[in-house]
Chain A
């Protein structure tokens, strides 16, 4: 990749000092050679940010080379939350991997379950009944809203708007109440399993979701009333951290970070799964590719997610939620009493799980952060031979150095907030 000068947006506020003459642009996207290019003269100061920093959204460490207040180079140092998920997958049966996936992107755990379950189901070549698919969509979209609410609250708080944090948490707790009602757990639901769901939803589920959907758009109006037209917020975000579409694609960005730069790529549209093609929703995109555009895209996404939930609840079909393949999902309790085969299936699944045929699949879902992909290889055993996770935060984070180039140091936290990274998703 050639060393390019950073592209500035059109809406650069006049108070930003232009890049000084004589100081070379350092584009840290080269083949590892950027470390040598960082000037260590008296003008540049190395400063360490993190891993214990309230605005890095986890344990991210950044080594910033500063020229006065301006960032000339930014080197992310990751791995402080490396948990060894991919290796752990290899020593757990497929169904046991589901609770592990919960803890990767811990702001939207059901979407991780979703991605893993879809990949395993692709290996097994099984289909989920429509009711199961619809409930999966509802749970995934609700957790997308919950994740965006945390993003909005913390992003606004990083910039100095503390009130939004309290407001966002109020709605998020309502979603967590729904999650608790259906699964027993607030956050780590493990509700979406390989072959279907943990269980069918209780009858209170639909009224709870309806009540939430009816109320939520008004709440989004409240958040927007706090921030969208707020002159301080606009001044802090417009023209900051500009990422043009070509660069965003070259870094492998996805999710709102990519859509904020004007690329209408959404996995739910590009590779529909679990019946997403049956729902009406828009894919919002930005124009300038700055922090403010990414904010607008995510806020709009909350409204679109709410629309999807509304459609899914209204059209929720009846019937079973799990696949009828008895080699994958436990048989109903009554069947075990009457059928020898069911008893054997129950015993086999409980003791050793199921064995997908040998093969190699890639399956992606649109998580709250972008394209969450699972490359799963089976050797015919009851555990994944290899499971590589393509975490969206990792690719989005790689564009950070580009985005903060020549920006003010105080704006780095605003840019970090705008790409909405989760270190559990980066490090895994």
Chain B
């Protein structure tokens, strides 16, 4: 299932939970003391463990990130390259590119953002349901890149909040994969109830 052992340690089940398993239905453990330890072992054998709701929700969020298909320029080609068989973004659970922002929770801004595109980009971001994240892919999206002129917005963070920046012009597909992994760590560490301002 991809559960990490440090996050989902099998803990001693609370007495109430173990009692509901029904210790009498379990095979007897030779030499066992009928105590809390015994009940916890029995619960573990039944596949019961305890964790927090926040960790489970975060696990669900970061294990299945759905990016919006939002290619702008050159970086979009490497973004498509990251989803091909050689680099296979699916290994990290982020390959389901959706054409509709309503169905996605990650916007990969792949390419230079022109002054004309800026409002469109913001509208698409606003159409995405919460919680949502943004990866700024490449030098142009992050800071304008080599285009310091009238036409290009000098960084997409002037339009939408950005979670991960990727350097490179364009970044390699491995760079995008690294950014997805960094984003997954960030999502895992984000409290469930936190609301993006």
Contact = CB atoms under 8 A, between A and B. Distances in A.
Tell me the interface secondary structure of chain B in the complex: loop
A187 B73 contact: no
Contact of A166 (B85, B112, B117, B146): B85
B21 interface: no
Nearest to A84: B151
Nearest to A150: B77
Contacts of B81: 169, 172-173
| Size category, B interface | 35 or more
Interface stretch (A53-61, A67-75, A215-223): A53-61
Interface size class of A (residues with CB under 8 A): 20 to 34
Nearest to A53: B99
Contacts of B74: 103, 106, 187-188, 424
Contacts of A107: 77
Contacts of A150: 77, 80
A394 B15 CA distance: 72
A54 B78 CA distance: 15
A54 B120 CA distance: 15
B151 A83 contact: yes
B59 interface: no
Contact of B150 (A54, A84, A424): A84
Interface string A159-185: 000000110011011000000000000
B114 A83 contact: yes
B174 to A, nearest CB: 11
Nearest to B68: A52
Contacts of B114: 79-83, 427
Contact of A52 (B111, B120, B152): B120
A409 interface: no
Interface in B145-177: 146-147, 149-152, 169-170, 172
Contact of B149 (A53, A88, A165, A173): A88
A166 B85 CA distance: 6
User: Which residue, B69, B76, B77, B124, has most C-beta atoms of chain A within 10 A?
Assistant: B77
Given A83-B151, A170-B86, A173-B81, A99 B116 contact: no
A210 interface: no
Interface string B90-119: 000000010101000000000110111100
A81 B151 CA distance: 9
A54 B71 CA distance: 8
Nearest to B70: A52
A100 B117 CA distance: 20
Contact of A103 (B73, B80, B120, B150): B73
A53 B147 CA distance: 25
A166 B71 contact: no
B84 interface: yes
7 contacts: A52-B124, A80-B116, A81-B114, A84-B152, A106-B77, A107-B77, A170-B84
Cβ-closest 3 pairs across A and B: A84-B151, A106-B74, A169-B84
